[in-house]
Amino acid sequence: MVNSFNMSEERVNRRTHGEHLTSKEIFLEFIFPEIKDRLKQHIWVDLYCGEGNLILPILEHLPDNEKISFFKNQVYLFDVQPKMVEKCIENAIHHNIPQEVAEKNILLRDNLIDFPVSLKEKKLPIFHVTNPPYLYLGYIRKHEETQKYLKFFEGNNKGYQDLYQIAMINDLRNKIKNLIYIIPSNFIFGASVSNKFRLDFLKHYKINKMFIFETRKFEFTGTNICIAFFERKLNIKVEPLEFMVEKYKKKDVIIKKQYVLNPEFKYRAGSEFDEFIKKCRAKNPLTVKYYLLREEVIKNKGSHDISVIDANKYENNEYKKLALHVSDELKQKIESNILYAQTVDKGSLSGRVGLGVVEAEFSVKGIYVSTNTYRTHPIQVFFEPELSTEDQLLLLKYFNFILEAFRYKLDSEFLTTYKYSDAEYTRKYLGLTQVRGLIETFPILDLSEKNKKELGMLIDSNEFQDTINYINKFL
């Protein structure tokens, strides 16, 4: 990756501009082969160009006597940072473009504010190839230096969650037909971060192809990325999208498969899991509640001691243990609900998301939330009606079996990528809505003791489809 900044300045730019520079190698390996036969049919634009590595390498594949003319008439590059514009001009000069020519087509401009409509007046149609800025709205709100971006999420953009979505929606509104975007893979896998945006955007665009990377592509970010090839539809249409994906995993493993994104499930990849929990919801589902909160403990003070961990106090690689003084009723509630949800993969095969037993994992009876709730902490689960210990252990077995079967079948695509790590698989996050949905497929209230035994035997035999067929009998 070519880099013109010192380390501290580069770190500031990543945090304040959402900037992750693209290497020339990424362009040549994954993008150029897809566009090389169309070079003379479009003007080639990058509205967030950085050093220009997503457009300028095209010049290396043109005859010397065509490069300057091609650049003058078919290349337009922009960036919001003066130093990036300077570096991009230097790179153009390195490709034998005269400086005065480069300076006319490589310009300083903030294209998140609005689209440079003059480009639409050119003779050839626009082909936008870019690695836009990405900063999540939650991060933007929390940091003073990035709060200037909050204006982009107002008005017609309300509900969007990332700067890259602002860039893409600007292209949509300006009816740009061909787009290649390098963006976080939460575009296709994310739930709340991307649901609204996908529904808005994919009415207008089809996806012709996608590369997904579960390996680190940018040196200073753990964000998993994808390269998506979009083409505008002739007519606005809400319909399933089918396209080929090449997924690059660790240890040089490449998976090629056809994806189908269903609008009923907000065009999210891995929707087969969502379809399952919707179609297989039990006739009499359990009611699920989360968290043992401080407010509840205060309201139910008493003389009974109960051992808990404090989920908000993690020190020296363990949660702080303490004794709460509670009423008999609350003690009974805590002790009778033995399960907790682990929503984030720890990085080892034995530490994957799922349900666990509080006492077996933490040597206490409960998981106490002394301050704020966090979805990534261990979360005690409470059921109504109350379940026996045996029924809860059967639920645990069922839940983790079904979850792991779908992870294997769908390569964990229905889960949200948590962050890059050196684990032997990409760490994932299991949403609490998904936890509740899967628990609600467990028909425990309709099972006889004989049924429970039969279900347990199917799970122990690793019979996934037979297990699904069995619970469907009780819908």
Do 253 and 349 lie in a common domain?
A: no
Same domain, 25 and 115: yes
Mean per-residue pLDDT over the chain, rounded = 91
Nearest to 240 by CA among 211, 269, 212: 269
Same domain, 192 and 326: no
Domain boundary among 237, 270, 303: 270
Least trusted range by pLDDT, from 141-145, 148-152, 296-300, 339-343: 141-145
Burial class (CB in 10 A: 0-12, 13-18, 19+), 117: exposed
Distance CA 334, CA 292 (A): 8
Same domain? 116 vs 191: yes
**CB contact at 8 A, 421 and 360:** no
- pLDDT-based confidence at 311, cuts 50/70/90? very high
Q: List Cα–Cα distances, 189 to 203, 212, 222, 265, in angstroms.
A: 17, 11, 16, 11
Q: Nearest Cα to 401, choosing from 366, 354, 356, 367?
A: 354
Q: Classify 294 as helix, strand or coil.
A: helix
pLDDT of residue 219: 52
Q: State the average pLDDT over residues 153-162.
A: 96
Return the bridge partners of 206, or none: 231
Can you give the residue range of the structural domain that contains 141? 7-270
For residues 459 and 189, which has the higher predicted lDDT (pLDDT)?
459
Task: For residue 79, give the 3-state DSSP assignment.
Answer: strand
pLDDT, mean of residues 66-92: 97
Give the CA distances from residue 49 to residues 45, 53, 92, 275, in Å, rounded to whole numbers and listed in that order.
9, 7, 12, 40
| Claim to verify: residue 341 and residue 436 sit in the same structural domain | yes
Rounded distance between C-alpha atoms, residue 61 and residue 52, angstroms: 15
Place of tokens 């028909």: 443
Taking alpha carbons only, the member of 157, 165, 171, 174 closest to residue 47 is 171
Residues 103-122, mean pLDDT to the nearest whole number: 97
Task: Collect all residues with Cβ–Cβ distance below 8 Å to 68 and sequence separation of at least 6.
Answer: 96, 97, 98, 101
Of residues 4 and 109, the one with the higher pLDDT is 109
- Distance in angstroms between the alpha carbons of the first and the last residue of the chain: 55
Q: What phi and psi, each to the nearest 5 degrees, are found at residue 441?
A: -85, -5
Judgement on whether residues 309 and 171 belong to the same structural domain of the protein:
no
Residue 278, in any domain of the structure: no
Q: Which pLDDT belongs to residue 183?
A: 95
Percent of the chain with pLDDT over 90: 79
Strands (DSSP E) contained in 295-344 are 301-315, 318-326, 339-342
230 sits in which H/E element: strand 225-232
My answer on whether 397 and 436 are in the same domain is: yes
Q: Pick from 5, 17, 11: which is nearest to 145 by CA? A: 17
CB atoms within 10 A of CB 264: 11
- In-domain check, residue 282: no
Note whether residue 311 is domain-resident.
yes
- Residue 1 falls within a domain, yes or no? no
The answer on pLDDT for 179 being more than 90 is yes
Same domain, 227 and 303: no
Q: φ, ψ for residue 247 (rounded to 5)?
A: -105, 125
pLDDT bin (cut points 50, 70, 90) of residue 416 is confident
Residue 150: give its domain's CATH number: 3.40.50.150
Domain total of the chain: 2
Instruction: pLDDT band for 276, please (50, 70, 90 cuts).
Output: very high
The mean pLDDT value for 261-286 works out to: 93
pLDDT digit string, tens, across residues 245-273: 999 887 678 889 999 999 999 999 988 99
Residues 340-357 have a mean pLDDT of: 90
Q: Is residue 277 part of a domain?
A: no
pLDDT of 342 > 80? The answer is: yes
Nearest to 428 by CA among 401, 446, 407: 407
For position 419, what pLDDT does the model report? 62
Which has the closest alpha carbon to 132: 195, 100, 93, 176? 176
Give how far the C-alpha of residue 278 lies from the chain's centroid of Cα atoms, to the nearest Å.
22
State which amino acid sits at residue 11. Answer: R
Query: What DSSP string describes 242-271?
Result: EEEEEEE-GGG-EEEEEEEE-GGGTT-TTH
Which of 213, 238, 270 delimits the end of a domain? Answer: 270
Q: What is the pLDDT of residues 203-250, one digit of tens each?
A: 999 999 999 988 766 554 556 899 999 999 999 999 999 999 999 887
In a domain, 304, yes or no: yes
Residue 216 CB partners (closer than 8 Å, separation 6+): 222, 420
Comparison of pLDDT for 263 and 424, the residue scoring more: 263
244 and 386 in a single domain? The answer is no
Residues 314 and 435 in one domain: yes
- Whether 280 is in a domain gets the answer no
Domain end point (choices 236, 270, 304): 270
Do 161 and 210 reside in the same domain of the chain? yes
Side by side, the strands of the sheet bearing 106-108 are 106-108, 75-79, 43-46, 126-130, 178-184, 225-232, 205-213, 241-248, 254-261
Q: CA-to-CA distance for 40 and 23, rounded, in angstroms?
A: 24
Same domain, 255 and 380: no
Using omega within 30 degrees of 0 as the cis cutoff, is the peptide bond preceding 263 cis?
Answer: no
Question: Do residues 413 and 425 lie in contact, with contact meaning Cβ atoms separated by under 8 Å?
Answer: no
